[in-house]
Amino acid sequence: MAASLPLLPVLGAFDRAALLGGEAILKQAGVRDVRVHDARHTAATLLIEQGVHIRVVQEILGHTRVTTTERYTHVATLQMKDASDRMDSALWGSG
């Protein structure tokens, strides 16, 4: 019979430290205070930046509506520049 794994290893290092009273250790180490929820926004943005379709990101995050996923993603400056360059090329044939 396989031993069941405890819950704590499933949690991230930051969550584990917080649960075990390690906030002071993280602060002393200079680790920035972040929420697990922030990682969802970061993951969604990174996936979009890598060209993953927003509907796929929606499924990964488990959102019912794509509008919820849209709120999770943040448009990067490079993406805006690329869009601008493409519009320029489409309108004026440059590039």
Given a contact cutoff of 8 angstroms between Cβ atoms, the answer to whether 69 and 54 are in contact is yes
pLDDT band at residue 94 using 50, 70 and 90 as cut-offs: low
H/E segment holding residue 31:
none
86 HSE (CA, 13 A, CB side)? 6
Instruction: State whether residue 10 is helix, strand or coil.
Output: helix
Distance CA 16, CA 9 (A): 8
8-58, pLDDT tens digit by residue? 444 455 555 556 666 677 777 787 777 777 888 888 888 888 889 999 999
Given a contact cutoff of 8 angstroms between Cβ atoms, the answer to whether 60 and 48 are in contact is no
The DSSP letter of residue 53 is -
Lowest model confidence (mean pLDDT) among 5-19, 56-70, 78-92 = 5-19
